[in-house]
Amino acid sequence: MLEKLKGYLGNDKLKGQKTEVQWTPETIAEYEKCMDDPIYWAEKYFKIITIDYGEQNIKLYDFQKEIIRAAFNNPNTIVLTGRQQGKCSRINSLVEIRNSSTGQLYKIEIGIFHEWLKFRETYNYSLDSLNLIS
């Protein structure tokens, strides 16, 4: 017999849909503080899991705080960051790459592209030898 899922998508650390919350003066004050300060909210309630330390609160870098503040104060914010600043949230996120020799554009999943880069580095292959469909 299937047990009823507890929490959002079965995760008991996340509240499920239509979960009633008991609002006290303290929880309302905390909610207001989080609404007013997204940095406080992130550093207090965002959890990450690391190999070395397990689950822990996120520690934002200064540049991440700057981006959050800018987006909080102006929703029309454009961010220019380095290519390895964690913009892809899934391994199947599509990225567009250009062959520097031919100029041809390819759309490829980031996970496959990452594996291709490792392969190319190991065996010294060029992008021309990869048969991609654009």
Interval 42-63 mean pLDDT = 89
Give percent helix, percent strand, percent coil of the chain, each to the nearest 5: 35, 15, 50
Per-domain residue ranges of the chain = 25-73, 94-129
Q: CB-hemisphere CA count at 13 Å for 18?
A: 0
The reported pLDDT for the residue numbered 1 is 37
The reported pLDDT for the residue numbered 32 is 96
The pLDDT tens digits of the residues spanning 78-108 come to 888 776 665 555 677 777 888 777 888 888 8
Q: Of the segments 11-15, 57-61, 94-98, 116-120, which one has the largest average pLDDT value?
A: 57-61
Please work out, in degrees rounded to the nearest 5, the angle formed at the alpha carbon of residue 38 by the alpha carbons of 33 and 41: 65
Q: Do 112 and 130 form a contact (C-beta atoms < 8 A)?
A: no
| 64 compared with 6, residue with greater pLDDT | 64
